[in-house]
Structure 1
């Protein structure tokens, strides 16, 4: 029971805060409840396909292949693969994290996983086409170039800021 409370303490705290707000300010509480319901329905529609893809990725791609193409010694090839995987993905950002976990389990480097998450969040191909149509090709290209530079810088800094013990713990969590 203690482990459950420790693991879900933030979630449980938010439920308590929502209940208090619901009683104190019923209008806001109802909006909060409706928003929670909407988000839950969205998650239920997104999570099952992601888990199916995760299962397929886990079974079909062996560790040696993943390490070869996105591991520590994969170089530019690994960065490009991680970037393209993130850019071609569909769905909200929270769907990227289980995939990132599988990548780590299969031996991808932290840098490439950070690139994958950054690409998922900022360079999705459908978003780029919408940007080009709405804001112009020059804007889209400028933002894409700056996003790529930013993703690489942030991934590099994040990896460097994590010491060996922290990196080891991230890999252990995903085993």
Structure 2
């Protein structure tokens, strides 16, 4: 019981807070519950396909292949592949992190993982197509041409500022998640 309480203390605290809020002001309490329910439903629709794809990636793509195309010695092709994979991805940003963990298990370079996450959050193809139609090609292409170098620069800066020991610890934690 103690372990349960310790593990879910933030969730239980939030549940208690929303319960008290609902008692004090039913309208706001029910609105908070409605928003939480919607978010839960959205996550329940996104997470299963992401984990199915992760399982397939883990089984079908050998570690050697991932290291060849996105590992330490991948160079420009690793950067381009990270951008393409992140841009083609569907779903909210929290879907990128389990994929990043599998990439770590497969030996993908830390910088390429950061580029993948940056591309997932910024350069999605559907977003680019929407911007083309709604805001015009000049805006959409300009934003993309600014974002891609920005993502690469930020990824290299982060990998420079994060110590090798910390990166090693991150990779070890990813290994224990399986």
- Decide which moves more: 159-168 or 16-25: 16-25
Unpaired runs of 5+ in structure 2? none
- Residues 6 and 104 (structure 1 numbering): CA distance in 2 closer, same or farther, change over 3 Å? farther
Name the residue aligned to 2:153. Answer: 153
Moved more, 158-167 or 118-127: 158-167
Please, which runs of 5 or more residues in structure 1 have no aligned partner?
Answer: none
The 1:7/1:79 distance shift into structure 2, 3 A limit, reads farther
Deviation string for 1:104-155 (max 9, x for gaps)? 1100011100100110111111110110111110100110011112211221
CA deviation string 1:76-102 (max 9, x = no partner): 110100100000111111111111110
- Rounded Cα–Cα distance in structure 2 between residues aligned with 1:37 and 1:155: 35
Q: Distance in 2 between matches of 1:55 and 1:45?
A: 17
For the residues of structure 1 that align with 2:172 and 2:145, how far apart are their CA atoms?
A: 34
Describe how 1:41-52 pairs up with structure 2 within 5 A. 41-52=41-52
Name the residue aligned to 2:163. 163
1:110-129 aligned at under 5 Å gives the runs 110-129=110-129
Distance 1:75 1:120 in 2: 20
**What RMSD over aligned residues (CA atoms) do the two structures have, in Å?**
1.6
For the structure 1 residues 3 and 117, does the alpha-carbon distance in structure 2 shift closer, same or farther, using more than 3 Å as the test?
farther
TM-score (norm 2): 0.91
Deviates more, 1:16-25 or 1:46-55: 16-25
Q: How far apart, in 1, do the equivalents of 2:5 and 2:157 lie?
A: 33
TM-aligned CA distance change 1:169 to 1:8, over 3 Å: farther
Give the paired residue count: 175
Cα offsets for 1:18-72 (capped at 9, x unmatched) = 2332233322111110011111111111111111100000000111111111111
| Counterpart for residue 36 of structure 2 | 36
- The aligned counterpart of 2:88 is 88
Change (3 A) 1:29 1:138: same
